Amino acid sequence: MALSASDLPAIYSLLTNSMSQDETIRKPAEAALSQSESRPGFCSCLMEVITAKDLASQVDVRLMASVYFKNSVNRYWRNRRDSSGISSEEKLHLRQRLLSHLREENHQIAQMLAVLISKIARFDYPREWPELFSFLAQQLQSADVLTSHRIFTILFRTLKELSTKRLTADQRNFAEISSHLFEYCWHLWQSDVQTILHGFSTITQSYNSDGVEQHQDLYLTCERWLLCLKIVCQLVISGFQSDAKCFQEVRPVKEVSPVLLNAAQSFLPYYKSFQNGHPTLWDFIKRACTKLMKVLVAIQQRHPYSFGDKCVLEPVLNFCLNKIIDPEPDILSFEQFLIKCMIMAKSVLECKEYKPTLTGRVMDENAVTLEQMKKNISNAVAGVLSSLLPNERIVLLCNVLIRRYFVLTATDLEEWYENPEAFHHEQDMVQWTEKLRPCAEALYIVLFENHSQLLAPIVVSILQEAMNGCPTTVTEITPGLLLKDAAYGAAAYVYYELSNYLSFKDWCVHSLVQFLVSTWL
């Protein structure tokens, strides 16, 4: 038997009771809701609870209704043999109701509604819901900041969901979506950058510690900008076939990447400005700068040949190397940003598409083959890398990684002292992309593999300098001992390349064994 509007009070009561701490009340309510899930009209009743204006303050009940709605979509939206599912008429009604409730003021419920739309779009777009993206784009034209933020939340969730579909027809649909949405999203993103930077400048000049409360629209614009950035990334990454496979230039890469880098450079000065007095905006700066670098890394890994253009690769890699080698004092504490810079440098240095190819070419061959195109691009990228990484800079980068980033910090030592076992396991199990020192170690290994003949003597000289500056009798924690530990680690990571430069037998007998003996004594 189908549920109708007359059943709304009962559904609302069951949702309320399902959150009760009293098990005798909660269990029957959960059972009744579970039995109602497969009944026609159940999702429509939930939709009315979620969107009811008189229930705006009942956030917990509305959230619970959205959870049951999502579960019902997962289980019954697609017709199954063991269930009649949700009728076509009710699906149409639910799609219309969802799009009529775009201006949801509660953030959590707005997120859940976006998830609901994305789940339904995975099943129904484009066959049953062809107007979805055109309707959202039309609503954006006249939307206020809050509504546009909610629409971009929906767009991001939906695009992320659709990008995971792997059938050729689905990927073709996504490419078509990208062609329609990219220009609008990209222009709005650039406009929001200017709005945000102007707002930041006004706040820093006013010395007003209550800036967040008085600039709520600015903060919403910041959040919308972040969503728009994620959407642009999704469109560039999933809307075009990887140029490593098709050898076709992806035009948006050259258009987007330099502007993303410029945005990161513009936001970074506010990292220090907002650190004291503007915690919300400071948090946004951290997320924004980190996300910008993360997007650049994703673009480089997806479209390496287009990213390898001199106007893109050179400024991005040069920026990252400068931040790693000579960061401003306040940026040193911004570890997540430095990690992303190191990931970018590592990704470029180990990119197989940038490696020189040894394939020849048939004599008198007129047509340019794909292999020849690949070779031409690789040679061009090799020229850019040679200009960015002369021998002096490679040696400097190696020294900085070992002497600055390999050395245990005061925080590391404190954690080690308080819980040695936990510290050991964390160092052993942590992902290299999550902590600064493991990330520096990963970059160092790739750098050494690319320039082993140049760097092997440098690593040995640092090791010898550290051993001479800290005799084996020294067991107290001093800067010399910390450098010695870092040098030992640097040598251990690339020991297979040091045999021609370092006698491991002498090192073991005259240094390592003596240090162990002095420690035991």
The DSSP 8-state label assigned to residue 508 in this structure reads I
Could you give the CA distance from residue 49 to residue 345 in angstroms, rounded to a whole number?
A: 51
DSSP string covering 214-227, please?
HTHHHHHHHHHHHH
pLDDT score of 183: 92
DSSP lists the bridge partners of residue 83 as: 80
Yes or no: say if 412 and 440 are a contact pair by the CB < 8 Å rule.
Answer: no
Each domain of the chain, given as residue ranges in start order, spans 390-520
pLDDT tens column, 277-290:
889 999 999 999 99
Torsion region of 488: left, alpha or beta (phi above 0 gives left; psi -120 to 50 gives alpha) = alpha
Could you give the CA distance from residue 350 to residue 257 in angstroms, rounded to a whole number?
A: 20
Minimal CA–CA distance to 317: which of 283, 340, 284? 340
Torsion region of 307: left, alpha or beta (phi above 0 gives left; psi -120 to 50 gives alpha) = alpha
DSSP string covering 50-85, please?
HH-GGGTT-HHHHHHHHHHHHHHHHHHSS-BTTB--
Yes or no: say if 181 and 155 are a contact pair by the CB < 8 Å rule.
Answer: yes
The DSSP 8-state label assigned to residue 239 in this structure reads S
Could you give the CA distance from residue 505 to residue 493 in angstroms, rounded to a whole number?
A: 17
pLDDT score of 513: 73
Yes or no: say if 384 and 313 are a contact pair by the CB < 8 Å rule.
Answer: yes
Yes or no: say if 184 and 141 are a contact pair by the CB < 8 Å rule.
Answer: no
- Please give the mean pLDDT across all residues of the chain: 89
Yes or no: say if 29 and 58 are a contact pair by the CB < 8 Å rule.
Answer: no
CA 213, 214, 216, 218 torsion: positive or negative? negative
pLDDT category of residue 213 using cuts at 50, 70 and 90: very low
Within 10 angstroms of residue 507's Cβ, the number of other Cβ atoms is 18
Spell 412-423 as b/e; 16+ CB within 10 A means b: eeebbeeeeeeb
pLDDT score of 358: 58
pLDDT score of 211: 45
Residues of the chain with pLDDT > 70, as a percent, come to: 93
> SS3 for 477?
coil
Q: What is the model's pTM?
A: 0.89
pLDDT category of residue 210 using cuts at 50, 70 and 90: very low
pLDDT tens column, 325-379:
999 988 989 999 999 999 999 999 999 988 876 555 554 454 456 677 777 878 8
